[in-house]
Structure 1
């Protein structure tokens, strides 16, 4: 049964009643005011204390949301999730209050933002829909909400992110004082959406998958399976496989799943769920497969394929026992750093977690390595796959784009859409693009565009010249996407102009030309899009890649996808990359000159380190440890080692007066730890054993026999690939624990060698006793020493496993 009501005043009364009885509370408002947060705070705290699933999302559009409101909301309860939508200047106007309780749901959607006036006496219209058993509106609205809540545009609110927002808020209102006055008087006012709003995320077109004639591993899958089985034998519980698009990652996961009874496969696109289920059943025909998303729910299937948007909701997540699945596979693992994935992965405790991806670029997906503890079981990029003839070769043409992107406003994550579109929708630009395409193209082209308007404009321009084209995007209702993909594959279309489609989970093997007419803002997306043209096909000798390169941000970074290794003694990065023999790259001379200039103008080193540090600090809400900086940063913590991480923190103004004094007196000791050579892990294992004795005793003399049990236990651990240092001919003899032999190794290797190489004689080995010449009783120094030890051990084994 449904009941529909219209509320035009005192919405707060309805909200408070719903909050008091609901187990699920999802709220999204464009703007949040302190007055509104204060109205709901007591009821929300009470709901959080009884275990309700509470999520609140506010927007930063025009910096109307008050920082005080965000602090108020974030302080209500640790179990309440509060996030902020970073709009980058694009309108953000939803207002919805969604509640679910034991015998029904209540969805309220209308005009009221979170403010006292909007919830009490303001002129507002809100439609409420109560549903009993079939909660269609609530379920659909919840899915949409979760998609927004965990989107890349939203960030978790903590002390650091609120502080950053407050600085931006103050700066904006300083530059727009009249707007600030207007909002302070009226508290909030509706703003109209522009005619051309942001592109809606659309469904993805899929071509029929080519079936395997023999359902057995092939090519890279054989190598990857071998490495995965070795990983399991070594005691790992998590791993990532990086395989270029087109090498069969989903089938690989299916072959690996043979050894596990209950399997959960997680994807972020619903179309991938059905496609992946079909692939798994070809490999495991005797199993039962089920879908778990907003429309289908088959929780008891042996092979369960779940949408992350649905699974991340508390009420759906708690349908399952945390130990219910033996294997969890995360598709497109580069998305797994998102909060929605983290919530799911933190809940389950499978025997093994496998992440599969083609694009784990660190700058875009820094947290992915942390999720699998740095364990990359197998890695093959598209260049190596081309070298092995497993993917199609390519001919890359870098065409100079005269558009001056320096005059287009950068909105934090992308260029201002209106300004970018105005620069792109020029007849002379369309002619330039057409000429480049006509010169280099083959038969079937995908064109990657920035916006719907650009895709429509260029498609129409090409059509006027007699070519068969369509534009596909979220607002295209006249063209069937699957039919368009089939027409392109069959040669009935020359080109498809697309916007944010065909990036993942889509295969048209016959595509032989890729045309890029958009700035490259993400290496991950650029790699995915290149993969659309590299699948093998009988009618394709190679793929042509036509790329317009202008002075946009990070234009010089995209060539890092190719082999740009700098030879010893070289003063600058090579602009002409080294490629497989079957491939070629041809850059306009203007492009070569542009890339050299952009490389010279890269952000100064310290500023780059500071930006990376501040990003990680905001993400975790406090000053990161050495290891956290390494795992969550866009760049590795190794780059901080040249001057010492703690010297950097001092330069950045992040140390207290007490910490500054510790740094002044113990700088040499910290540098000793950060820079001492490590051909083996032994030095840091000895230090880790000594740190186990606590802050008052860690630096005091110790014998090798005292260290021996910890040392042996650590290097024969099942948790990490620590055993690699016990694999050479000499140390293999130490697998069976013998205190005397292990102690002799410790004395000979880490203790004597470290003592002999210490630059400031801070490490001492005398009369069979090993110690550090430092006033280690200081708790700050103890903590910093522990951080360095933890980081260096992790970084050492991460490096060794990649080798």
Structure 2
């Protein structure tokens, strides 16, 4: 294999070393570094502040030459450089009065210590140049080349149009930027979410790509007879517009839109008006108004509940905004009264922090799901740079902990410290923002804390406002508009009880967490406030002040939930964490934060504690008295059934430990037939069809007539009719015998399996268990988002279901379990999924597959495949037949399959099996090869 490209060339390709890694390594090891770039922005500089502080602390000297060419360099970022005495900087004034009319477009990084090296290429000191753009930077280590590079740098450094950096020089340049008509383009216009208008504007719009995909799935659900569904989509994807587009597609003439936040209702009314125009009459049921006879009503839960005219109407379409709140008693009571043709729940996450189960309210029909990671990866949301900063100004140990959180009043008192304000501003200055001005939101611990922060900044000459739930909605909207106006001096909002969800402020470019994270769900919701696409910014800056307290890991857990585990891993890892952020995102923890997290990590709860705490939350906070296994789906942080069995042996064991077991559960012997029946239902049977679960449910629902019970299953769960087959044709008896053993007599459950469980509870208990598996299976087999092969990302990891979905097909485990699959999707395609390590397979299926070099792969077919028949001939002659071959490689069984891209047949040896050599159309980065082979060895 040739020498890995990344040692001598850096292009910021996925899985490879980036220029950001080159710069960070230089600052951590060298003492003399010289950098000359055309463009210098916060989005690049903010990523190396930690390394720069260490570099400066040991006496290192950095010479930085930056140009004003095209006015792309950020004046505010230049001011941040002045805070580092170890950085000697000069500013090249391009096209300035009195200076040469010449632009400086150099990009060079000279590391002058032994062993000296120089990188010359295309990377500017920006997010794109250092990390995300495809660049071309060549490493030079020869003495002659180094001397020439150093000479060129000295020439540029001493030019007469390059001046020592100073506040006065920066202010003069900033005035030029403000007067300039040249605005650097950040986001191509085609990527801007056209369904998200600037705050307060109204115009006709069309569905974006996410909405098109969701509309297709919603229509399919309605055609199958469903009347309720939920859409789970990350903040900023456009859920409200989706509801409007779907109501239009449904032909809705009457609609009720429900929310408990007034900003949501005012924005929703504008949204529906922009889609429907004046074809509908709009009304409100909040704020003293009660318009009950109009076409479309936008109402709070309280107003709608108290109006018999509204609850007495039949609506063709009902929208429940922020659907994760819908398990609250007030929501449940209202929804039970409403008569409607179709109900759509909208949420960024169906997992409530308080454990309430909302998916049950829509019969677990998740029509469409696109979480934050996928939305960022697909360019629908703005990438973020997260900075974890040690919060050393607060003694969290002195704040009482009550009812699962800090005492609110004592916490606010502890956070209202002047030096903490100065520390925040310092980090904001060096980490910066991307945009024409800072547009920042600081999330506070309470109203007093928000008001204190706003006052503290105003005392320091910075425009800031506090916005809380006590402010009138009209006043809040006025402030939101001022904040987003580039010409308005307002830069900061400090908030409490608002902006957690629903309000669209696309221009936000800075989010600061000024209180301890006590909910991973709320953390993600608040992070989402700054992820809307805007042409003014290419990255969101996130500052999180991490204190030494028991919930310090919650933010890390939230970031872990955002981990893009399937992406090619680069050389840089987040300390302590095995996290690969979403595409173009960064997670940076300073050294002190790492120390705090290490200390807190020692006190992680046991699996038993996690399961017991989770059950108590479900029991205390759900509106039902008997939590079932399926209720674990109500929160992403809940343990799995496997965790429960490992900790307590069974769901009954957990109920007993939680002192919530009924008399019949306490009396069950673990060896009894009834206990074993329930335990069997807790396990995933890995069934390729729904039949055995339907049969088990039927035997419990109608013990005396299992055939009728089997048919009743499809009435109880109509979406599973997609897999329906009459019981006599389902051939499930063998499966039931394998899974239930002596509990199944060939027709139904034995009497012993049923006798210790009250008859009225048998179906409920079994249903509550098998629904966990049924929901996961439905999402896998029928809930996939169908895409085209061109949407596949090179070198990314995919599950088999995701691969099938990318060829416009729903995954079928009975048909798509082969190593070679054919698809007709805008042309013919053959997908080859193969493993590097087949040692775990039976002897006749232990094939030899290997990466020959970064452009060739050797693949062994199944034993019966030859070059002259069937699929073998199609592979050999694929070019003549117009077939595209796609290669996916797993390190070993149960690993994600990395997409190595389209391949071409080169040669084949032998037959039955064939040994084929493929030519890859895209070279495999060295780090992807190392990861594939490393995981193979590890497994």
8 A contact 1:394–1:544 mirrored in 2: yes
Judged with a 3 Å threshold, the aligned counterparts in structure 2 of structure 1 residues 559 and 364 are, in CA distance, closer, same or farther, namely: farther
- Structure 1 counterpart of 2:318: 328
Q: How far apart are the structure 2 equivalents of 1:565 and 1:537?
A: 23
- Structure 2 counterpart of 1:281: 273
5 Å-filtered alignment, 1:175-574, equals 209=199, 211=201, 214-258=204-248, 259=250, 260-285=252-277, 286-313=279-306, 316=307, 318-320=308-310, 322=312, 324-364=314-354, 366-402=356-392, 403-412=394-403, 414-442=405-433, 443-473=438-468, 481-491=476-486, 492-562=489-559, 563-564=562-563
- Structure 1 counterpart of 2:64: none
Q: How far apart are the structure 2 equivalents of 1:622 and 1:709?
A: 29
SS at match of 1:802: helix
5 Å-filtered alignment, 1:153-192, equals none
Q: How far apart are the structure 1 equivalents of 2:623 and 2:443?
A: 37
1:446 Cα deviation after fit: 1.4
1:397 Cα deviation after fit: 0.6
- Structure 2 counterpart of 1:661: 667
- Deviations 1:479-530, CA, capped at 9 Å, x for gaps: 9544433332223123222222333343332221111111122233322221
Q: How far apart are the structure 2 equivalents of 1:487 and 1:565?
A: 36
1:777 Cα deviation after fit: 5.6
1:465 Cα deviation after fit: 3.8
1:589 Cα deviation after fit: 2.5
8 A contact 2:614–2:639 mirrored in 1: no
- Structure 2 counterpart of 1:795: 772
Q: How far apart are the structure 2 equivalents of 1:588 and 1:480?
A: 38
Judged with a 3 Å threshold, the aligned counterparts in structure 2 of structure 1 residues 299 and 636 are, in CA distance, closer, same or farther, namely: farther
Q: How far apart are the structure 2 equivalents of 1:460 and 1:600?
A: 39
8 A contact 1:626–1:637 mirrored in 2: no
8 A contact 1:721–1:797 mirrored in 2: no
| Alignment partner of 1:762 is 2:768 | no
- Structure 2 counterpart of 1:751: 733
8 A contact 1:627–1:790 mirrored in 2: no
Q: How far apart are the structure 1 equivalents of 2:246 and 2:678?
A: 44
1:329 Cα deviation after fit: 0.3
SS at match of 1:353: strand
What's the TM-score once normalised by structure 1's chain length?
0.64
What's the TM-score once normalised by structure 2's chain length?
0.55
Judged with a 3 Å threshold, the aligned counterparts in structure 2 of structure 1 residues 574 and 670 are, in CA distance, closer, same or farther, namely: farther
Judged with a 3 Å threshold, the aligned counterparts in structure 2 of structure 1 residues 596 and 790 are, in CA distance, closer, same or farther, namely: farther
8 A contact 1:262–1:303 mirrored in 2: yes
| Alignment partner of 1:722 is 2:728 | no
Judged with a 3 Å threshold, the aligned counterparts in structure 2 of structure 1 residues 256 and 669 are, in CA distance, closer, same or farther, namely: closer
- Structure 1 counterpart of 2:619: 617
- Structure 1 counterpart of 2:655: 649
1:636 Cα deviation after fit: 5.8
- Structure 2 counterpart of 1:99: none
Judged with a 3 Å threshold, the aligned counterparts in structure 2 of structure 1 residues 383 and 757 are, in CA distance, closer, same or farther, namely: closer
- Structure 2 counterpart of 1:199: none
Q: How far apart are the structure 2 equivalents of 1:649 and 1:475?
A: 42
| Alignment partner of 1:683 is 2:692 | yes
Q: How far apart are the structure 2 equivalents of 1:218 and 1:449?
A: 34
1:216 Cα deviation after fit: 1.9
Aligned length: 558
8 A contact 2:610–2:639 mirrored in 1: no
Judged with a 3 Å threshold, the aligned counterparts in structure 2 of structure 1 residues 481 and 615 are, in CA distance, closer, same or farther, namely: closer
Judged with a 3 Å threshold, the aligned counterparts in structure 2 of structure 1 residues 248 and 657 are, in CA distance, closer, same or farther, namely: closer
- Deviations 1:722-779, CA, capped at 9 Å, x for gaps: 13434xxxxxxx4xx6xxxx41432xxx211332455xx42455xxx43545524625
1:713 Cα deviation after fit: 5.9
Judged with a 3 Å threshold, the aligned counterparts in structure 2 of structure 1 residues 361 and 552 are, in CA distance, closer, same or farther, namely: farther
SS at match of 1:377: strand
8 A contact 1:448–1:516 mirrored in 2: yes
Q: How far apart are the structure 2 equivalents of 1:418 and 1:365?
A: 25
SS at match of 1:235: coil
Q: Tell me, which stretches of 5 or more residues in structure 2 are unaligned?
A: 1-195, 567-573, 781-939
- Deviations 1:302-331, CA, capped at 9 Å, x for gaps: 111111121223xx1x22455611211011
8 A contact 2:390–2:592 mirrored in 1: yes
Q: How far apart are the structure 2 equivalents of 1:541 and 1:338?
A: 38
Which residue of the other structure, out of 587, 590, 608, is the alignment partner of 2:589? 587
8 A contact 1:503–1:525 mirrored in 2: yes
Judged with a 3 Å threshold, the aligned counterparts in structure 2 of structure 1 residues 576 and 466 are, in CA distance, closer, same or farther, namely: farther
Q: How far apart are the structure 1 equivalents of 2:640 and 2:410?
A: 37
Judged with a 3 Å threshold, the aligned counterparts in structure 2 of structure 1 residues 662 and 264 are, in CA distance, closer, same or farther, namely: same
5 Å-filtered alignment, 1:3-42, equals none
Q: Tell me, which stretches of 5 or more residues in structure 1 are unaligned?
A: 1-205, 698-705, 727-733
1:684 Cα deviation after fit: 2.6
- Deviations 1:531-585, CA, capped at 9 Å, x for gaps: 2211122221211111111134433222344434789xxxx99625212331111
8 A contact 1:662–1:781 mirrored in 2: no
Q: How far apart are the structure 2 equivalents of 1:504 and 1:602?
A: 30
8 A contact 1:393–1:583 mirrored in 2: yes
1:284 Cα deviation after fit: 1.5
Q: How far apart are the structure 2 equivalents of 1:452 and 1:771?
A: 61
Judged with a 3 Å threshold, the aligned counterparts in structure 2 of structure 1 residues 711 and 437 are, in CA distance, closer, same or farther, namely: same
* Segment of structure 1 superposing worse, 572-581 or 603-612: 572-581
- Structure 2 counterpart of 1:635: 638
SS at match of 2:363: coil
1:348 Cα deviation after fit: 1.2
SS at match of 1:437: helix
Q: How far apart are the structure 2 equivalents of 1:774 and 1:719?
A: 26
8 A contact 1:254–1:280 mirrored in 2: yes
8 A contact 1:359–1:527 mirrored in 2: no
Q: How far apart are the structure 1 equivalents of 2:346 and 2:312?
A: 22
- Deviations 1:767-803, CA, capped at 9 Å, x for gaps: xx43545524625265664344212332233112322
- Structure 2 counterpart of 1:601: 603
Q: How far apart are the structure 1 equivalents of 2:575 and 2:658?
A: 29
1:647 Cα deviation after fit: 2.3
Judged with a 3 Å threshold, the aligned counterparts in structure 2 of structure 1 residues 693 and 779 are, in CA distance, closer, same or farther, namely: farther
| Alignment partner of 1:674 is 2:679 | no
8 A contact 2:484–2:507 mirrored in 1: yes
1:410 Cα deviation after fit: 2.2
Judged with a 3 Å threshold, the aligned counterparts in structure 2 of structure 1 residues 573 and 544 are, in CA distance, closer, same or farther, namely: closer
8 A contact 2:327–2:623 mirrored in 1: no
Judged with a 3 Å threshold, the aligned counterparts in structure 2 of structure 1 residues 628 and 470 are, in CA distance, closer, same or farther, namely: same
1:673 Cα deviation after fit: 3.3
SS at match of 2:339: coil
Q: How far apart are the structure 2 equivalents of 1:331 and 1:653?
A: 36
1:692 Cα deviation after fit: 3.5
